[in-house]
């Protein structure tokens, strides 16, 4: 009776779509709602009136839920997102709404996505039934460079994204897009960038960004990202990303890759992580990685001070059993982080040897 | 045009969470199935799922589920007459035991058949063990997992119950020679047989009085000296069967009254000191609600303590959906090579609330982790699905059957 459950498989994935004001979220969402592949997807938006859905395409409508002809459920936020996601799950379970398989949430333009992530991890009902699949950030192809220069929120939204969609690419030049992509890469070295126009995007491109199973597979490696496996996360941490891209602008945001050969004890590792989030939470934009805890692989992810529940994998996804972590941080030095993790390990081991 | 609002809780709506339908087989129009499901691994490597029908005219069907996405009906047999139902079966190796229960007492044949199914297309009858009698309807359920003993809920020619509802009791039949089955043990609830010293047990209120008789009589290799018996209105009874001629009660637990009776299955989780106990819903439209699955702490056999119930499917969505709504069969961690076994994941059938999967890792806070509620099968008199039984194989493929017309549904769990 050793078979055990995949702790992630049963959870409904949630994709957050964020982006600075005017970056094209409403256009994207209104196109997405009508896409034929949106069956069994619930889309949570701020204001249904903004979207302007053709009545011919509405098959059912209630106070805040509209069912569309393609099987997509469009749900406007009533009081807050927490309540809305709870309601949606409850209604799904009693059969009041069709069984949706995933949720896409549109965040408001100025909103910091971190509180949404916190809601998903701290609300026990939501944490039991949903998981964060990914953060998608829309960047205005026309005004993105200016926003990165002037708006710290825009910088953060890009830095924490799992995928970046550059919009309005039909309104700008190739040169400008190149400059913009260069600026994006300084803030976020790893996440894929895609160009879209008029909000046209295949819903499949917005999903399966996160860890969907605690059973290791090729997908686990994809989720962990190239930088964790191609050796770029070298012992000095200054992988090719950082070295090449610490340009003048926004040098404060950095991607740091760390690799540890010695396995951690969970207590040491979590103490270090806790210390880091307690002291520098706002500057830890994103953490992602796989940690060797007494030989077992544990996937760790976090957005700012919120660390999601670590996931113990059933086995290592490849032969590489080193702990590999990527931090996207603001105003922090690589050595500080590395030394911290080494120090807790050292304290623990010296304690062990003296007792 | 704006259409009328539609509620997804309509009976024609399929509901699912973490389960995917791989295949559906209507069994050639005889899709009313009972609570006998067993899987045979043939010598040529095929997996045959044996299914007992709920009612006449069909007896049992064999479905090749080697490829679960492409099930093939390979045999379907007939009952000798319409006053009989097979309802229950079990298979070990190439030996299959099938139960026969008549609609009224005194009807023949009623008892068990033992088949050689080494050629699954041509089941070969080895013997019939007669359980008919002036007060007997025959056999309702069999448990046969060790290749030797059939533990069953049965009447007998020499057994006269005080109340006709109490006609079936626990009997053990030794089929070491499958051509000559012999009874080697029996136990009945004290006071239910005419002539018993014990007084008759107090009955439940008339509308819930379904009888003090056995339903499932399970014995596992982990503890071969214990029989875990769902005694319907008599609750959960665990018996010491180390001396089959002298069976003794070791545990008794009954939630009724105040609950509405019908204890169906007692499934022990040996390593955890727990029993998972299921009720059976036997009335339509939620009339006997709540019918639940219970978690009982059994560490002290003499004092079983209920510590919780499984989160029940929502009453509002299902009670009036059509037919019965509530617990029934559980996948029972059968010892054979083809059965899924878990001491945390429990799969059950809940009539119109479909098949449901639970994680009992925290026995005080069981979680529902998956479900599949098929839309109403065509021509179903209940107007809704009525999933009657469930079997999970070692590939974690879930097989579940409808009580009336829907036949077999084959599902994959994403858990």
**Domain assignment of residue A187, yes or no:** yes
Q: What is the pLDDT of residue A108?
A: 73
**Nearest-CA distance from A93 to chain B in Å?**
8
Q: What is the pLDDT of residue B9?
A: 63
**Domain assignment of residue A283, yes or no:** yes
Q: What is the pLDDT of residue A110?
A: 63
pLDDT tens, position by position, B70-125: 999 999 999 999 999 999 999 999 999 999 999 999 999 999 999 999 999 999 99
Are B415 and A94 an interchain contact pair (Cβ–Cβ within 8 Å)? no
As a whole number of angstroms, the distance between CA A299 and CA B28 comes to: 49
Residue where a domain stops, chosen among A171, A206, A241? A206
Residue where a domain stops, chosen among A186, A206, A226? A206
Assess contact for B320 and B286: CB atoms under 8 A: yes
Are A59 and B3 an interchain contact pair (Cβ–Cβ within 8 Å)? yes
Residues A194 and A128 in one domain: yes
pLDDT at A231 over 60: no
**Domain assignment of residue A213, yes or no:** no
Are B6 and A59 an interchain contact pair (Cβ–Cβ within 8 Å)? yes
pLDDT at A239 over 50: no
Which domain CATH number covers A254?
A: 3.30.1220.10
Higher-confidence position of B230 and A218: B230
As a whole number of angstroms, the distance between CA A73 and CA A70 comes to: 9
pLDDT tens, position by position, A290-336: 999 999 999 999 988 889 889 999 999 999 999 999 999 988 888 88
Q: What is the pLDDT of residue A1?
A: 53
Q: What is the pLDDT of residue A236?
A: 44
Q: What is the pLDDT of residue A352?
A: 59
Are A60 and B5 an interchain contact pair (Cβ–Cβ within 8 Å)? yes
pLDDT tens, position by position, B204-215: 999 999 999 999
- Chain centre to alpha carbon of residue B47: 21
As a whole number of angstroms, the distance between CA B149 and CA B182 comes to: 10
Query: CB under 8 Å, gap of 24 or more: what pairs does A105-108 form?
Result: A105/A14, A105/A15, A105/A16, A105/A17, A105/A43, A105/A44, A105/A81, A106/A17, A106/A25, A106/A29, A106/A43, A106/A44, A106/A45, A106/A46, A107/A16, A107/A17, A107/A18, A108/A46
Residues A68 and A192 in one domain: yes
Q: SS3 of B81, please? A: coil
Which of B11-15, B293-297, B347-351 is the least confident region?
B11-15
Residues A157 and A17 in one domain: yes
Residues A116 and A245 in one domain: no
**Nearest-CA distance from B7 to chain A in Å?**
6
Residues A37 and A84 in one domain: yes
A–B: how many Cβ contacts below 8 A? 66
Strand duo A130-140 + A163-167: pairing:
parallel
With an 8 Å Cβ cutoff, is B370 touching chain A? yes
**Domain assignment of residue A3, yes or no:** no
Residues A155 and A236 in one domain: no
State both tokens at A91. 């209604």
As a whole number of angstroms, the distance between CA B2 and CA A340 comes to: 61
pLDDT at A120 over 70: yes
Higher-confidence position of A344 and A109: A344
**Domain assignment of residue A212, yes or no:** no
pLDDT tens, position by position, A64-94: 888 888 889 898 887 788 999 999 998 888 8
Are A99 and B2 an interchain contact pair (Cβ–Cβ within 8 Å)? no
pLDDT at A21 over 70: yes
Is ipTM beyond 0.85? no
* Residues of chain B contacting residue A98, judged by C-beta atoms under 8 Å apart: 8, 13
Which of A10, A92, A98 should one mutate to test binding to chain B, selecting the residue with the greatest count of B CBs within 10 A? A10
Q: What is the pLDDT of residue A226?
A: 53
Are B369 and A60 an interchain contact pair (Cβ–Cβ within 8 Å)? no
**Domain assignment of residue A27, yes or no:** yes
Residues A202 and A309 in one domain: no
What confidence category does residue B406 fall into, taking pLDDT thresholds of 50, 70 and 90? very high
**Report for A47-56, A92-101, B126-135: range of highest mean pLDDT:** B126-135
Task: Name the domain count of chain A.
Answer: 2
Which domain CATH number covers A124?
A: 3.40.50.300
pLDDT tens, position by position, B40-59: 999 999 999 999 999 999 99
* Residues of chain B contacting residue A65, judged by C-beta atoms under 8 Å apart: none
**Nearest-CA distance from A251 to chain B in Å?**
44
pTM for the predicted model, two decimal places: 0.88
Q: What is the pLDDT of residue B4?
A: 39
Which of A14-28, A97-111, B150-164 is the least confident region?
A97-111
Residues A288 and A174 in one domain: no
Residue where a domain stops, chosen among A173, A206, A239? A206
Q: Which residue of A has its CA nearest to B315?
A: A94
Are B271 and A1 an interchain contact pair (Cβ–Cβ within 8 Å)? yes
Specify the DSSP class assigned to residue B193. B
* Residues of chain A contacting residue B10, judged by C-beta atoms under 8 Å apart: 95
Q: What is the pLDDT of residue A70?
A: 87
Residues A243 and A270 in one domain: yes
What confidence category does residue A351 fall into, taking pLDDT thresholds of 50, 70 and 90? low
With an 8 Å Cβ cutoff, is B343 touching chain A? yes
Enumerate domains of chain B plus CATH numbers: 43-322 (2.130.10.10)
The domain of A296 spans 218-354
Share of chain A above pLDDT 90, in %: 47
pLDDT at A48 over 80: no
The stretch B160-180 carries a mean pLDDT of 98
* Residues of chain B contacting residue A97, judged by C-beta atoms under 8 Å apart: 8
**Domain assignment of residue A227, yes or no:** yes
Strands (DSSP E) contained in A77-173 are 102-106, 130-140, 163-167
pLDDT at B6 over 60: no
**Domain assignment of residue A86, yes or no:** yes
With an 8 Å Cβ cutoff, is B359 touching chain A? yes
Which of A219-233, B141-155, B188-202, B377-391 is the least confident region?
A219-233
As a whole number of angstroms, the distance between CA B413 and CA A121 comes to: 25
Phi, psi of A176 (to 5 degrees): -65, -40
Residues A57 and A119 in one domain: yes
Mean of pLDDT over chain B: 96
Q: What is the pLDDT of residue A189?
A: 86
The stretch B327-338 carries a mean pLDDT of 97
Residues A188 and A68 in one domain: yes
pLDDT tens, position by position, B233-256: 999 999 999 999 999 999 999 999
What confidence category does residue A224 fall into, taking pLDDT thresholds of 50, 70 and 90? confident
pLDDT at A62 over 80: no
Residues A179 and A270 in one domain: no
**Nearest-CA distance from A9 to chain B in Å?**
5
Q: Which residue of B has its CA nearest to A62?
A: B5
pLDDT tens, position by position, A248-259: 455 588 888 999
* Residues of chain A contacting residue B15, judged by C-beta atoms under 8 Å apart: 95, 99
Q: What is the pLDDT of residue A184?
A: 95
Specify the DSSP class assigned to residue B133. B
């Amino acid at each position: 009776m050793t078979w055990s459950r995949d702790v992630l498989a049963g959870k409904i994935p949630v994709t957050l779509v964020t982006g600075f004001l005017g970056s094209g979220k409403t256009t994207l969402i209104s196109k997405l709602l009508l896409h034929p592949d949106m069956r069994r997807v619930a889309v949570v938006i701020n204001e249904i009136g903004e979207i302007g859905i053709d009545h011919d395409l509405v098959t059912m409508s209630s106070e805040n839920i509209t069912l569309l002809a393609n099987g997509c459920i469009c749900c406007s936020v009533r009081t807050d997102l927490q309540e809305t996601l709870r309601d949606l799950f409850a209604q799904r379970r009693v059969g009041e709404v069709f069984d949706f398989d995933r949720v896409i949430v549109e965040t408001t333009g100025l909103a910091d996505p971190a509180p949404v992530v916190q809601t998903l991890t701290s609300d026990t009902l939501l944490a039991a039934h949903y998981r964060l699949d990914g953060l998608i950030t829309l960047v205005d192809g026309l005004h993105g460079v200016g926003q990165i220069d002037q708006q710290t929120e825009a910088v953060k939204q890009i830095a924490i994204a799992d995928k970046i969609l550059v919009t309005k690419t039909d309104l700008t030049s190739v040169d400008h897009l190149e400059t913009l992509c260069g600026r994006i890469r300084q803030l976020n070295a790893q996440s894929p960038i895609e160009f879209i126009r008029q909000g046209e995007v295949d819903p499949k491109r917005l999903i399966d960004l996160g860890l969907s199973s605690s059973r290791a597979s090729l997908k686990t490696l994809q989720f962990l990202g190239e930088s964790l496996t191609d050796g770029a996360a070298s012992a000095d941490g200054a992988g090719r990303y950082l070295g090449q891209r610490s340009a003048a602008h926004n040098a404060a945001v950095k991607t740091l890759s760390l690799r540890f050969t010695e396995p951690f004890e969970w207590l040491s590792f979590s103490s270090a992580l806790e210390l880091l989030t307690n002291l520098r939470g706002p500057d830890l934009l994103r953490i992602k990685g796989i940690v060797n805890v007494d030989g077992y692989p544990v996937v760790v992810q976090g957005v700012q001070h919120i660390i999601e529940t670590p996931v113990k994998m059933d086995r290592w996804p490849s032969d590489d059993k080193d702990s590999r972590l990527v931090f996207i941080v603001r105003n922090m030095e690589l050595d500080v982080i590395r030394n911290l993790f080494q120090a807790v390990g050292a304290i623990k081991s010296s304690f062990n040897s003296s007792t | 045009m704006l259409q009328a609002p539609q509620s997804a809780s309509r009976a024609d709506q399929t509901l699912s969470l973490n389960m995917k339908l791989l295949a559906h087989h209507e069994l050639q129009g005889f899709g009313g199935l009972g609570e006998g499901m067993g899987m045979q691994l043939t010598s040529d490597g095929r997996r045959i799922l044996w299914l007992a029908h709920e009612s006449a005219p069909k007896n049992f069907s064999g479905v090749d589920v080697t490829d679960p996405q492409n099930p093939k009906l390979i045999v379907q047999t007939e009952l000798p007459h319409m006053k009989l139902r097979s309802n229950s079966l079990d298979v070990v190796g190439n030996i299959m035991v099938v139960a026969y229960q008549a609609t009224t007492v005194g009807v023949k044949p009623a008892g068990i058949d033992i088949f050689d199914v080494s050629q699954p297309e041509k089941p070969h009858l080895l013997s019939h063990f007669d359980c008919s009698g002036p007060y007997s309807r025959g056999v309702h359920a069999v448990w046969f997992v060790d290749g030797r003993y059939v533990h069953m809920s049965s009447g007998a020619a020499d057994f006269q119950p005080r109340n006709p509802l109490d006609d079936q009791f626990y009997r053990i039949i030794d089929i070491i020679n499958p051509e000559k089955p012999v009874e080697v043990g029996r136990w009945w609830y004290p006071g239910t047989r005419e002539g018993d010293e014990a007084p008759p047990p107090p009955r439940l209120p008339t509308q819930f009085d379904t009888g003090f008789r056995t339903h499932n009589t399970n014995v596992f290799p982990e503890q071969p000296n214990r029989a875990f018996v769902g005694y319907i209105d008599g609750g959960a009874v665990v018996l010491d069967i180390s001396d089959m001629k002298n069976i003794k009660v070791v545990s008794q637990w009954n939630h009724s009254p105040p609950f509405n009776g019908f204890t169906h299955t007692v499934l022990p989780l040996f390593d955890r000191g727990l029993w998972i106990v299921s009720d059976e819903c036997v009335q339509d439209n939620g009339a006997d609600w709540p019918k639940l699955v219970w978690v009982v702490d059994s560490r002290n056999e003499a004092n079983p303590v209920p510590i919780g119930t499984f989160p029940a499917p929502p009453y509002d969505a299902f009670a009036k959906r059509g037919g019965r709504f509530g617990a029934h069969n559980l996948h029972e961690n059968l010892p054979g090579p083809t059965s899924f076994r878990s001491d945390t994941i429990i799969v059950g059938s809940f009539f119109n609330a479909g098949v449901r999967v639970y994680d009992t890792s925290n026995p005080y806070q069981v979680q529902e982790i998956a479900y599949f509620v098929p839309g109403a099968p065509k021509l179903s008199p209940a107007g809704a699905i009525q999933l009657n039984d469930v079997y999970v194989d070692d590939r974690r493929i879930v097989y579940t059957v409808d009580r009336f017309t829907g036949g077999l549904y084959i599902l994959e769990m994403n858990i």
